[in-house]
Amino acid sequence: MARLVATIVLATGCFLGLGILAERWVHRTGYRNMRVCLELKPGMSSADLQAKLGEPRVVVRAGETWWYFESPWVAAAPIRALIEVKSGQVVSLNCSESERW
């Protein structure tokens, strides 16, 4: 009986570990973007931001241009940046709900 329980626990642990690794592999761009986003500093240009985080999904809402970048599915909110179109500057960058400038 103890051997059966040990086998079940070991198998569950292996499947859980493989599942976590697979999830990290599938969403690797989002995890990389989150790590890079936390290192960015205010005052950067939109071209620099795009070079660091990749191609954004652009949304224009109420006269504001927001760029959304891929983030891990476990993040509380997507990585998003408010862009001033005329100057090409990043006005606001939100890496998560608690990390913003």
Instruction: List, for residues 18-72, the tens digit of each pLDDT value.
Output: 877 777 666 666 677 777 888 887 778 989 999 988 889 889 988 899 999 887 7
Of residues 1 and 77, the one with the higher pLDDT is 1
Question: The pTM is what?
Answer: 0.66
* Through-space distance between the first and last CA atoms of the chain, rounded to whole angstroms: 57
Which tokens go with 98? 């608690």
Q: What is the DSSP string of 40-74?
A: --TT-BHHHHHHHH-PPEEEEETTEEEEEE---TT
At 65 the pLDDT is 92
Of residues 31 and 6, the one with the higher pLDDT is 6
**What is the residue extent of each domain of the chain?**
28-94
Of residues 7 and 21, the one with the higher pLDDT is 7
